[in-house]
Amino acid sequence: MELLDGRLVKKEILNKLKEEVAHLDRSPGLVVVQVGEDPASNVYVGQKEKMAKELGYQYSHVKLVSDVTQEKIEEVIDGLNADETVDGIIVQMPLPKQLDTKRIQNLIRVDKDVDGLSDMNAGKLIHNEDALMPCTPKGIMDILEYYQIDVEGKNVVIVGRSDLVGKPLAAMMLNKNATVTVCHSKTVNLAHYTKQADILVAAVGKKNIITPDMVKDGAVIIDVGINRIDGKLYGDVDFEGVKDKVSYITPVPGGVGQMTVAELAKNVLKAYHNIEK
């Protein structure tokens, strides 16, 4: 069993980006819009700020009160869309219930949508066109590529169908000629499908939902789950139980989560180049 080390891959990606950014005419600009004081969101925003400053990006954090109106947040996004120094815009999720999340995601200019969550970028991904792609699934593809794990012709089983991970990852895998099965909470006999997976991706958010009897020998396991229980992090896969059965596995922490920030950094630079053309 070999660990798929997200920290190592992230470090290499960021080092390359830092070198490239140093030679640009201006620093790429990233703005994160945050609503309210969600503790998890504060952590994620902090990670983005750290990454941006490390690379020499121009970074801004727009913080709005939790009872902000739809009109106000739309006004903020319109201003950022028009600002030529801003290459990437992120609206930190989740948003309070009074706000229309989908409308807000689609208000962000397509070429500044560095989370890759707009309908336009999702459509481009489905049609295998150049697009800004969601960071977590793109990180999964890049970690597999780094370790020279070819997905073409492989049985890929994805457990989880979120707009953030499961659905875009299925499209990315199909675009690389994998045979893809997507399972979810309504799937009957989940183990029937997971046992056929050459590459098994668990993205549910439920501790140890994937047990050793659900995994075939020699499979590649990508664990996207981050479950915080009593101050400790667990994945969706029973790591100790499966580690001697599999060929490769991502640890939690230190696996896919590391890649998400690295892919955001890549998206900001991609957006910069697209806008500068």
- The two structure tokens encoding residue 59: 């970074």
92 labelled catalytic: yes
CA distance 148 to 188: 33
Maximal C-alpha separation, the chain:
55
Point out the catalytic residue in the list 87, 115, 198, 236: 115
Active-site entry in 10, 34, 48, 236: 48
Strands 58-64 and 29-35: parallel
Q: What is the DSSP string of 33-84?
A: EEES--HHHHHHHHHHHHHHHHHT-EEEEEEE-TT--HHHHHHHHHHHHH-T
Distance CA(271)–CA(90), nearest Å, equals: 12
- Please, what is the angle between helix 135-146 and helix 256-276, to 10°? 110
Angle at 94 between CA 115 and CA 234, to 5 degrees: 90
Q: Which among 10, 87, 92, 236 is annotated as catalytic?
A: 92
Active site (catalytic) residues: 48, 92, 115
